[in-house]
Amino acid sequence: MSIEEHPVDSEQDLGSIALVTINRPDKLNALNADVMVAIKGMVAWVESTPHVRVVVVTGAQPNTPIEGKRAKPNAFVAGADITEFVGKKSDDIRVMFADNAVEALWNLSKPTIAMVDGFALGGGCEVACSCDIRIASTRSRFGTPEINLGLIPGYGATQRLANLVGYGKTMEMIFTGEMVDAAEAHRIGLANKVCEPEDLLDTTMAMARMIGNKSSNTLRVGKATVRAALDVGLTEGVAIEAEAFASLFDSKDKEIGVDAFLNRTSPEWMHE
């Protein structure tokens, strides 16, 4: 992994944008144990570095192929490194997930942007979903193909993807394992913006600079406040609503309202 710092403003000292590149192009930037450790280290560094205002996460561009070999496709992150799944049992995975990098990125207090150019599959889609904003090139593809391994997403896609694109589309993506292209990702709300590959860096950095120009304290508070809306899930929220609805049946105003409705009169509330 590499980190480059870019100024928020070329003329004023307004802090920097950290451009973080997951750098395993020969493996389509697949997530392995080393990458996960590096992401957690990056998050800790960003949190402890006041002048970093915004984080942009991307994947390395493909290397130039050896003569006679086909070039690798572009990838943001093409998933987890499946070779690390071999021989693993549930207890091994539970340890891995107890302190995982995708959650660390999700919990970062500063604004994050995923700059997606190419495949964002499996864990790669989840890394993108753990960022606050996603900007994608037209050649990008998003997907959750874990079903083809006899698995489901494990780094939060069942939750964060549903918040972004809705229940039905999430189910379709998880059940089928099929990819969605950049245009569809934008249509369903998975990608905030889509642009041509040659414009991706400029488009992403322009948004990062715009965000970086704002008050970092206000950004932190704004992010935390919006995130709070996600902490109470649909099931819990419906249960809370049902209890509140039921409790109103013990109120005086319920009796007044129902009586007025049935008798076609105007209610005179007691506010009790």
- What 3-state DSSP class applies to 134? strand
User: Left if phi > 0, otherwise alpha if psi is -120 to 50, otherwise beta: which for 87?
Assistant: left
CA 258, 234, 55, 143 dihedral sign is: negative
How far apart CA 105 and CA 52 sit, in angstroms, is 15
According to DSSP, the β-strands at 193-195 and 119-121 are unpaired
How far apart CA 81 and CA 32 sit, in angstroms, is 5
How far apart CA 123 and CA 103 sit, in angstroms, is 12
The single residue of 146, 241, 243, 268 carrying the catalytic annotation is 146
**Residue 146 known to be catalytic:** yes
**Residue 184 known to be catalytic:** no
CA 229, 232, 233, 238 dihedral sign is: negative
Alpha helices in the chain (DSSP H): 33-47, 90-98, 101-106, 123-130, 157-165, 167-176, 182-188, 200-212, 216-231, 234-247, 252-263
Starting at the edge strand found earlier in the chain, the sheet holding 16-22 runs 2-7, 16-22, 52-59, 112-116, 133-137, 193-195
Q: Six-digit token pair at 141?
A: 């593809």
Catalytic residues: 126, 146
